């Protein structure tokens, strides 16, 4: 959330109050006085979450699919209460293996040298 403390991103598979179907979700936790506290327990980012990773600059890059079964690579960023759309990296990818390949390639860089997907960062 940009306050300089370490946050942890966790991918879970569960139902939520707003989305009753089982799905992949991104939860973000913070360290508050030495205890783990929820910061954001999102039901959804945009589409159906396939994978995510942290990028330098506070962005979360998500590989998502929609009702059209096409894949998108999307960046989100923290804004006051939660994650908001920042930009599309690529849209309308038809094949899952190609989508993953582009997701990994497009997410490569300095952030990946220090942080594995879903690990804590500042």
In a domain, 73, yes or no: yes
Residue 113 confidence (pLDDT): 38
In a domain, 2, yes or no: no
Please give the helix or strand (H or E) that residue 97 lies within, else none: helix 96-106
Q: Convert the pLDDT of each residue in 60-113 to its tens digit.
A: 999 999 989 999 999 999 888 889 999 999 999 999 999 999 999 877 754 443
In a domain, 102, yes or no: yes
In a domain, 29, yes or no: yes
Q: How far apart are CA 46 and CA 120, in angstroms?
A: 22
In a domain, 122, yes or no: no
Q: Convert the pLDDT of each residue in 25-37 to its tens digit.
A: 999 999 988 899 9
pTM score, whole prediction: 0.81
In a domain, 121, yes or no: no
**Number of domain units in the chain:** 1
Q: State which residues form the domain around 62.
A: 7-112
In a domain, 61, yes or no: yes
Dmax over CA atoms of the chain, in Å, equals: 46
Q: Convert the pLDDT of each residue in 33-55 to its tens digit.
A: 889 999 998 888 999 999 999 99
In a domain, 98, yes or no: yes
Residue 112 confidence (pLDDT): 40
Residue 122 confidence (pLDDT): 35
């Amino acid at each position: 959330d940009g306050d300089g403390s370490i946050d942890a991103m966790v991918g879970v598979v569960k139902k939520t109050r707003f989305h009753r179907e089982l799905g992949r979700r991104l939860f973000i936790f913070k360290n508050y006085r030495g205890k783990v506290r929820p910061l954001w327990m999102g039901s959804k980012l945009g589409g159906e979450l396939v994978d995510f990773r942290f990028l330098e600059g506070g962005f979360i890059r998500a590989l998502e699919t929609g009702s059209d079964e096409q894949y998108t690579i999307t960046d989100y960023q923290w804004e006051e209460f939660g994650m908001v759309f920042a930009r599309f990296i690529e849209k309308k990818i038809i094949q899952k293996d190609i989508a993953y390949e582009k997701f990994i390639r497009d997410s490569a860089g300095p952030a990946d040298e220090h942080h594995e997907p879903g690990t804590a960062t500042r």
